[in-house]
Chains A and B, each alone.
Chain A
Amino acid sequence: DTGVSQNPRHKITKRGQNVTFRCDPISEHNRLYWYRQTLGQGPEFLTYFQNEAQLEKSRLLSDRFSAERPKGSFSTLEIQRTEQGDSAMYLCASSLAPRLAGEREQFFGPGTRLTVL
């Protein structure tokens, strides 16, 4: 399977703990995006990378959130001192750097469902 993969698929943690999620994009894609989705809502943008450079961060990305893509391939999203409000589906997507119109398509992984108790 050459699609976007995410691990773990589900994570249950206690409030105050740190969690880390991993995303492996489609291999030839140099852009990688993180989104968060809560129940009944559409995904909301958090941050994106082009290769290893983090180019944009949403205001939703508080100081407790950090994302990395050290070698321009897989990415990790860490949440420190989790709060109950962090419970959501965390989605990763990848795309080519859009020089052409057809390269703006973003392909999503299956998501990581986080539950903070």
Chain B
Amino acid sequence: GQQLNQSPQSMFIQEGEDVSMNCTSSSIFNTWLWYKQDPGEGPVLLIALYKAGELTSNGRLTAQFGITRKDSFLNISASIPSDVGIYFCAGQTPYGGSQGNLIFGKGTKLSVKP
């Protein structure tokens, strides 16, 4: 089945640092979505990408849809304490009967450096 590899699994940030995470897929996607999830809550949509090569920003967040359509990355610039949480990439396939559902990575957990 389709798999999404998301890395890193976890990272520690210091306020002001830039953060980068990425996802790779074994299959082609026509949509990449990036979500943030806080403990006990549902995922909140951050950025949506629809075309290969597309680069989209939302405030301090920037994400890109890879040219091969099998990868995406998310950058957070000048991190602040409220950026802490779990970030998920999710992809949607254009093929066959599974056009509706999203396939999620396992998440990147962002924590504050002690």
Contacts and interface: CB of A to CB of B under 8 A. Distances in A.
Interface of A: 4, 6, 31, 33, 35, 40-45, 48, 50, 55-56, 58, 91, 93, 98, 101-102, 104-111, 113
Contacts, number: 72
Interface residues of B, number: 28
B100 A33 contact: yes
A42 B90 contact: yes
Contacts of B33: 104-106
A93 to B, nearest CB: 8
Contact of A42 (B31, B42, B50, B105): B105
Given A104-B31, A104-B50, A45 B103 contact: yes
Nearest to B99: A98
Interface of B: 4, 6, 31, 33, 35, 40-45, 48, 50-51, 88, 90, 92, 97-107
B106 A33 contact: no
A11 to B, nearest CB: 14
